Structures are given as C-alpha cells and as structure tokens.
Chain A
Amino acid sequence: MIQGRTWLFKRKPTIIASAAVGGPMEAKGPLADDFDLLHGDLWFGQDSFEKAEKKLLEEATERAIHKANLRKEDIQFFLSGDLMNQVITSSFTARTLGIPYLGIFGACSTSMQGLALASVLVDAGFAKYVLSATSSHNAAAEKQYRYPTEYGSQKPPTAQWTVTGAGAAVVAPTGEGPRVTAATIGRIVDLGVSDPFNMGAAMAPAAVDTIQTHFHDLQLSSSAYDLVLTGDLGQVGYTLAHDLLEEQNFRFPKGCYADCGLMIYHPDQPVFSGGSGAGCSATVVFGHIMNRMRRGELKKVLVVATGALLSPISYQQKESIPCIAHAVALEAGGDEKQ
C-alpha cells in the first residue's frame, strides 16, 4: 500500500537476523559491544583497502546468514551497495556469495534503500529471504573521494570520518525480530552546498524533507517513535536538521532524536563532526539498534539514512552536492512476546 511517498507494508516483513562488522576506530567507540566482529587494523590481512572492504562485507553477510540459521542457497536475493566506483565491493561480495544480486547505490543512504527494497520484495511475495547489506571503508573512501590516506592535509571541523564497517540484514515474511512497517523514499534535495568537507550541512535538508514527508504521509505526531535516527549528519548536520525542524514547529520529545554518526564514536575521538559513510547507519542500525529492539528497550524506531550523492569529478567541476534520505520505520517484533 502506498500513502503519498510512503510504502506501508501489510505483512510487516521481519528482520530475522542482522550483523555488523567494524574496524579499529569503531572498536574504540561506545558501540563496540554491538559489533559481531571488530578488526584491529584497516587491512584485515588483505593487500589493498578495496579488498579489505570486500572482506568486511563478506564477513557481515556471512554472519547475518549464519545468525538466521540459513544457508547461502536459501537467500533468494542479495541487495547491496557501497561507496566505491561501480559498487565493486558489493559486486565482488555477490560473486563470492553466488546469490542473485541487485547492485544499488544511494551513497550513505544505501542501508535503508536496501532495507526498504528488500521489504518491498518480501512483502509483495516476490521473495522469502532477502539479504540487504552495505559497507564503507575509511581508507578506501578517502583514496577515492579525497586525498591519499597518508597525505598531510588539514581537515576543517565540519569534516566527517568515514566509518570502516559493514552491516547486513536478512529480511523474511515472518519470524522473530524487529519488523519493517513502512518506508519513505526520499527525493533529491540540493540547497547548493558544494563543500565535500561539510556534508552534514549538505544532507540535513534532505533528512528534514524525508522526516516531514513521512510524518505527514502517515499522519503521525512527533512523539510517534521512541527514536528517530538520522544516518550520518554528524554534529553539524544534526544541529541543522534539528533547527530546521524546529523552525517548522516540529519538535521531537527529548532524547527521541539521534544521529548514527554521533553515536558510533566518542566525542573525544578524532572524527571531527562525526561518523559518515554507508557503513555508519548500517552498523549502528543492524548492530546496536537491532540489539536494543530485540531486548525490548526500543519499540518503534524511524531510521532516516542520509546520502550525499557526489562524485570526485562532480565536486572538482564545482557542482553542488545532491542529497537524499530514505526513511524506514521499524517496530519491535511481536511474535515472541505477545
């Protein structure tokens, strides 16, 4: 069913299992316990950062499948995307898995883009088990989007730190676990910010647009969710999104609005404005948030994953940054409790 720009899932597809894998910076962060696997260095025993990211995604997907008590052959579709050119991480992981695969790209919003599409497939009866995953790797992303990792450039306080991490979730029609109730697909919002070291400010209006649309489409009050979670706005974007919403008289109850990019690291870690990257919302949601929902600490959560859809070339050609945000509404599973 569709209401405005929002899909409502009749069968409420279940996230029967999810997994999160992280790197060294994430291991030092406050959410370290919620990762299934953490690595001590950025190489993971590989000889390039690109291969390291592939390993990261492979580990996350294998763990999610394993935790769902399934075999690779049981998964019917694999939806995945990442930040690398031509989504190579995802495609190479799909080569390893051998599951029918759809590569997707939504930059840092890929986590919820994938989860929303997986839920559509399952809800419509086109698939029984769909695996949705995404990853990012700090050094691989720096190499592609910015400067060599060891290059001594000074970053401004508005810059963000790309998360080294991968998250994966297995979506099924029934089972135990958090359920996907609705998803709002974002539209491109570009308010002319062109500084790739200030992506929080670029993405905040996109997050606000999707949040407002979601609440409007479903006629919800601002206290409808226990937690509204943006993907990777960081301190700069988080404040901006909050102030933009407040200008429209839209206020979340205290403590009910958070950002994955701020949750994943301690404030004293050298991450500037906060975490970013496709792995940011993926690891926080598929690790930390899923665990809290399974424990019953959170009942209803709205995840608004934000993406900055720029390329190194578009930025050098002085284009502004087109941004997007996809929202997915999650509800704690009822099967085992009611």
Chain B
Amino acid sequence: MSDKKKKKLTPIQQQYQDFALKREPKRQLLKNCLYAFFVGGGICLVGQGITQFYIHFFDFNEKTAGNPTSATLIFLSVIMTGLGFYDHIAQKAGAGTLIPVTGFANAMSSAAIEHRSEGYVLGVGGNMFKLAGSVIVFGVFSAFVIALIKVIFTKYLGGF
C-alpha cells in the first residue's frame, strides 16, 4: 500500500492492516511471472506462425502480414471468450493473456457478451468499451503526445 493511503488510517486501522498482512496468502510472483512469460510468448509464437502462413501461402510480405495476423488472433480470442475458456487460461497466465492483442479482444467481447441481456443498443453497444474504452482513450492520447515529441525533435530541432 502506498504511503499516502497509509496516512489516512487511524492507528487501530494501521495495526490491523499489519496484522492482516502478516497472515495474507501471497501471490506466487515467480510462478505467475513464468506462466505469463510462457503463455504470452506462446501467443506471440502462434502469431508468428500465422504471419509465416500468410507470407507463405498468400500474397503478403513481412510488413503487410501484420494486419491479417492480428485479425486472426482477435478472431481466435473472441471465439475462446465466447466458448468460456479464455478467462480460465487468464487466471493462470495473468499478464500473458492480457498484454497481447488477444487480451484487448477478450476485454471487448466479454463486455459485449455480458451485457447482451440489456439489448443491442444500450447493452452491447453501450458497454462494449466499458473495459477497453480507457485503453483507447489513453492509447490515442499517448500516441498523440509521442507523435508531437517526434515532430518537434525531427522537424524543428533537426533530429539526433
């Protein structure tokens, strides 16, 4: 817990939090990291395989194969979310399934599935970006800031 948050607690609350922390089962950090590494890496490996597949059997090159690869992974992730086992893999894999594009697809499709009962417009449409929305907002904003920095450096300062 952050120090800022600690300050707001009364001494009795602080004492209890320490008491509770001592007895709390810890997250298995090393095991979680290894799972995340191998599952996340596995997803990337599958992605690489798909890229090779598109380059080999279709008219794509290394640059253009990226888009159909992402689309395929998104498709697979949504299917797995719909069939109900993406969340079970994610419980083990953690960041391994969250970080790749499959995690983003899962965030959107799970919210869409969840709110189907409230109708297509208010339910699916209104809630689809419930989790993914902030990724888009801050993703687009940080991309804008980075682009701005790049332009300033390369155009006006002559670059490095």
Contact = CB atoms under 8 A, between A and B. Distances in A.
Contacts of B89: 152
Given A152-B86, A191-B12, A191-B16, A158 B106 contact: no
B25 A152 contact: no
Given A149-B110, A150-B113, A158 B98 contact: no
A315 interface: no
B115 to A, nearest CB: 8
B113 A193 contact: no
Most buried by B among A50, A151, A152: A152
Task: Identify whether the interface residues of A are mostly helix, strand, loop, or mixed.
Answer: loop
A85 interface: no
Contacts of A154: 32, 90-95, 98
Interface of B: 5, 9-10, 12-14, 16-17, 19-20, 23-28, 32, 81-82, 84, 86-87, 89-95, 97-98, 103, 106-107, 109-111, 113-115, 117, 130-131
B107 to A, nearest CB: 6
A193 B17 contact: yes
Nearest to A202: B20
B107 A240 contact: no
A192 B9 CA distance: 7
Interface in A108-161: 143, 147-158
Most buried by B among A47, A148, A150: A150
Nearest to A242: B23
A205 interface: yes
B33 to A, nearest CB: 12
Contacts, number: 99
A56 to B, nearest CB: 16
A162 interface: no
A49 interface: yes
A149 B27 contact: no
A155 B25 contact: no
A48 interface: yes
A170 B29 CA distance: 48
Most buried by A among B25, B28, B84, B106: B25
B25 A158 contact: yes
A243 interface: yes
Contacts of A156: 27
Interface string A43-66: 000011110000000000000000
26 contacts: A47-B117, A48-B117, A148-B110, A148-B131, A149-B110, A149-B114, A150-B86, A150-B110, A150-B114, A151-B90, A151-B106, A152-B93, A157-B25, A158-B25, A191-B12, A191-B16, A191-B17, A192-B16, A193-B16, A193-B17, A193-B20, A201-B20, A201-B24, A236-B24, A244-B19, A273-B25
A198 interface: yes
Contacts of A76: none
A47 B82 CA distance: 16
